[in-house]
Each structure stands twice: as structure tokens, then as C-alpha cells.
Amino acid sequence: MTLTETQGLVPTTDGAQLHWQALGDTTRRPAVVLLHGGPGLPDYLDDVAPMVADLAPVYRYDQRGTGRSPWQGQHSLARHVEDLAELLDAWELSGAVLIGHSYGAGLASRFCLRHSDRVRAVLLMCGPFVGDWRTGERAERGRRMSAAQRQRLRELEELSQRTEEQEVELLTLAWFADHADPERGWRWAAEGARRRRPVNWSMNAELGAEGRADPLDGHLAELRARLPARAELLGGVDDPRPVAALESLALRLALPLTRIEGAGHEPWLEQPDVVRAHLRRFVRDAVGAGPESVQ
């Protein structure tokens, strides 16, 4: 099946230009919106969109300050939430099925807090993480890296300026441990380090600081009340971010959690068939699509 691809720019009320693209028939309703992680990375969910775009149109976008959405200015979680609301308006979507990955799962959660009436269903993938999950993550990353790799990563992080190759090396070292398979993980990390660029480090720092100052932990009771009827969590069992943190969140939000064995922080890379089947079931249920067709 050949799916139509469209793209465009949406001007926001404060002067940013958000680049978006869609896969599938954009006249169909409802639609799926993919929210990428970071923060500070351009969209990278191009492998995920085709998994469900025959069931519903799939929109994705570069968050302001990344990729083809240039922005010079202060970042805030509230502004990123409103960016999504303005995009839905531009796409003429009264509501949407949200699938957020990593930071994008946190963004989807905060969007539910502010605009619950516009969320038909939500899948939180490999996030958001609440509680003291960073201690476990640091320990697991340290276990997966050699002493030389840990030392080299510290050296690169401490540089006030980095060359292109140093930036690629830093990101490869920072990301390869995200995967269950270290050999394939190194290849995926090296590819991502060259494609998911440039990293907006100031955006990462600003939103990270705000998230620590006002964590989702303090809003979970309200979030539970505002989540749509169809809401789920999904995580890779071998993500260095402890799956126990997602299990705790699932209990507090009363949500089902799907654990993907043999997968890390980007489970669609290591277990594409399993993730595809899960996403297709979720989207079919959310949009009211018919039974699975023969592919």
C-alpha cells in the first residue's frame, strides 16, 4: 500500500515556525500524533509512523528549536504544550490519539493535564519516569560501559566547545547503552548521532530544569483523573531507565503496562514486529478501525 506524505509549516502565536509532516490520508478522522523525545532533538519517529498510517493519518513535527523548526528564545513546558494545541488547530483536529516517546510521553501527559478534551487516547512509550529513577539509570549505564568509555564521555561532556566529530562521539557514547544489544546499539547510536542533529542543548537544559522544579510526580492524581479512557504505558524491559519506575507509575495511574522483552529505550528498533502489533491494536481500538487486514 502506498501512503500519501504531506508536510508544511505552522506559525505559532509567538512567531515560531513548526515544521510538520503527515503520512496517510489526512482527510480521515481521528488522527494519530507522534511526539518525539529529547528534549532538544529533532523528530526521529519516521520508523514508527508507517506501522499504523494505514489505520489513521499519522502526524509528527519537529519541536520548536529543533530540526526544521528553528527558534531563538526561551523554552517552557507550557509553551510546548500550547504548540501542540496550535498544531491540532492548524490540522483541523478537534482531538487526536497521542503516542509520546521518552520526553514526548511527558509532553503528552502535560497536554492531557491542560487539554484533556482534545485527547482521544494516549500511549506513553518509554516514559514518563517519576520518582528517583535517575539513580538506577546511572548505575545501569555505568554497568553497560567500560571504564574507558565512561572516562571518555566525561571528557567530552566537560569540553566548552566540541568539533563535529567530538559531538558525534559524545552522543554515540551517551546513547548506545539505551539498547539491549550493545553491538547493534552502538550502530544505532552512531547513526542517530549523525542524523538527530543538531542537539539544542539550551532547550534540553531549560526544559530539564523546569521539569525537575515542577515534576509530574506532583500532578499524578490530577493526571489520572484527566487521562482518556484509552490510556496505556509501554516500555522496554532492557531500558537503562528502570522498568520498575514505569511499573510504579502504572499503579499510580491505574494504567496497563506492556513490557517489551529484549528491547531498550527504542523498542521499535529491537523488537519491531512486537511493537508494530501492539501499536496497531492500540490505534485500531482508539480510532474504531475494523479487523486487521491482510498485509
- The CA dihedral of 259, 264, 269, 270, to the nearest 10 degrees, is -70
Check whether 292 has a pLDDT greater than 70: no
Q: Which three cell numbers mark 119?
A: 485527547
CB 62 within 8 A of CB 217: no
pLDDT in tens, 148-180: 999 999 999 999 999 999 999 999 999 999 999
Residue 93 amino acid letter: L
pTM: 0.96
Print the SS3 string covering 61-89. ECCCCECCECCCCCCCHHHHHHHHHHHHH
Contact 193, 185 (CB under 8 A): no
| 10-39 as b/e: b if 16+ CB within 10 A | bebeeebebbbbbbbebeeebbbbbbbbbb
For the chain, count helices (H), then strands (E).
11, 8
Q: Compute the average pLDDT of residues 187-196.
A: 97
Q: What is the pLDDT of residues 89-131, one digit of tens each?
A: 999 999 999 999 999 999 999 999 999 999 999 999 999 999 9
